[in-house]
Amino acid sequence: MDLFLSTFENRIDKKGRLSVPAPFRAVLERRRDPLYLFKSLTEPCLEGCGPERIGQIVDAIESMDSLSAEVATLQTMLSSAQEMKLDGEGRMMLSGDFIDFAELDDMALFAGIGRSFQIWLPARYRERETAARSRAKTDGLPSLRLGGAYRPPGDTDGRS
Amino acid sequence: MDLFLSTFENRIDKKGRLSVPAPFRAVLERRRDPLYLFKSLTEPCLEGCGPERIGQIVDAIESMDSLSAEVATLQTMLSSAQEMKLDGEGRMMLSGDFIDFAELDDMALFAGIGRSFQIWLPARYRERETAARSRAKTDGLPSLRLGGAYRPPGDTDGRS
DNA sequence: TGGGATTATTTGGGATATCATGGGAAATAT
DNA sequence: ATATTTCCCATGATATCCCAAATAATCCCA
C-alpha cells in the first residue's frame, strides 16, 4: 500500500502552475490514477486524492435521502472537486477559486496524510503544526486512543 | 468513471444562449449522450443529466403504484424535462420557463454533482454552499460508512 | 568519507490550441 | 412580413504543449 507522506513546498509560478511533488505523482502513476483536488469542508486548505474517494462520495449520495443536509454537504464537496490534468513536467494549474479558498500566494505546501494529501499556505500550515504539537503535550495524544489503530499484541504502550 | 464535477459560471447572452462547460460536454460526447434538463423537485435550480437517469425515473414510475403521490411527483420531473440541442459551439438555449423557474438573469452557475449537474443563479448557489460549509464545521462531516472504509480526506483518525 | 559528476526534479517562457462569447446572415416559424 | 432560431465565423482570454534553464538529489569512485 503506497501512501502520500511527508511535506513538500513548491512555487506557484505567475501562470498559476504548481508542480505536484514527484513522490506523490509516483503514487498516482503506479495506480494509473488521475488526481482530484477539492476544497476542504472544514479548513482553509485543498485536499488531493485519487478517484476511489470521489466514487465513494458519489455512491453515498445516491444511497441517501436526497433531501438530507448530509447530501447537500457531500454535493458541496463534489461541486468543488476538479480532475487535475498535469502537464509534461507534472504541474497542475490551480484555478483562482482554489487559490482564493486556500489563500495561497506564491508558495504551496503539500502535506501527505496517508490516503490523501493537503495543500496549504506554508505559514498557515506551520502555525497549525505547532499548535497541534503543543496541544499534544498538554492534552496527551488523543489520536492514539481512537479505535482501530493496530498495535502489536501485548503492546499496551503504558496505557490501560 | 467520468463524472460531472466542479463549478463553472457562464454568461447567458442577449440571445438567450448559454455555453455548457466543455468538461461537461466531454462527458456526454464520450458516451454519445444527449443532454436533458429538467426542473428540480426540491430546489430552485435546473438539473442536467444524460438519458440513463431519465430512464431510471421512468423505470421507477413503472414499478410503483400508479395512483401514489410519489408517482405524480416523478411524473412532474419527466414532464418538465427537455432534450437540449447544442449549437456548434456547445451552447444551448434556455426556455423562458427554465429561466423563470431557476430565477436566472445574465449568469448561470453549473455545479457538478457526480452523475448529474445543477444550474443555479450564482448568488443563490453561493448562499447554499456557505450554509453547507458552516454546517459541516459545527455538525461535523457526514460519516460515510458505505462499502466500509471511507473517511473524509484529512481525517487521519490518528493512523498514518 | 568527501566531492565532483550524473541524473532527477522543479521552474520559466514562448508558441499553439481550446474555449467562452459576440455578432451577422441564413433558415424557420408565426 | 416579422420575430425567433440556427448556422457560421471572428476575437480575446486562458489553458496546454514543448523545449530549455536552474536547482536539488543521487551516485560513484578516489
Pairing of strands B107-112, B91-93: unpaired
Please name the residue ranges forming H helices in A32-95.
51-63, 69-80
Domain boundaries, chain A: 7-140
Is the CB of A40 inside 8 Å of chain B's CB atoms? yes
- At residue A121 the predicted structure's pLDDT band, cuts being 50, 70 and 90, is very high
Q: Examine the pLDDT at A153 and tell me if it is beyond 60.
A: no
- Quote the crossing angle between the two packed helices B122-139 and A69-80, to the nearest 10°: 110
Q: How far is CA B88 from CA B8, B20, B33, B94, in A?
A: 20, 12, 16, 16
Alpha-carbon distance of B137 to B157, in angstroms, equals 17
CB-proximal positions of chain D, under 7 Å? 5-10, 15-20
Strand C close to B7 by CB, under 7 A = no
**Is A50 in a helix, a strand, or coil?**
coil
Lowest mean pLDDT across A49-53, A150-154, B115-119: A150-154
Q: Examine the pLDDT at A159 and tell me if it is beyond 50.
A: no
- B48-84 pLDDT tens trace: 999 999 999 999 999 999 899 989 999 999 999 999 9
CATH of the domain spanning A7-140, picked from 3.90.550.10, 3.40.1280.10, 3.40.1550.20, 3.30.450.20: 3.40.1550.20
What pLDDT does B153 receive?
43
CATH of the domain spanning B7-139, picked from 3.30.950.10, 3.40.1550.20, 3.90.800.10, 3.50.50.60: 3.40.1550.20
Q: CA-nearest residue of chain B to A98?
A: B6
Residues 6+ apart with CB under 8 A from A23: A5, A6, A8, A112
Q: Examine the pLDDT at B159 and tell me if it is beyond 80.
A: no
**Is A97 in a helix, a strand, or coil?**
helix
CA of B159 to C1' of C2 (A): 40
Is the CB of A7 inside 8 Å of chain B's CB atoms? no
Considering only CB atoms, B113 lies closest to which of A67, A79, A148, namely A79
Q: How far is CA A133 from CA A47, A67, A130, in A?
A: 22, 40, 5
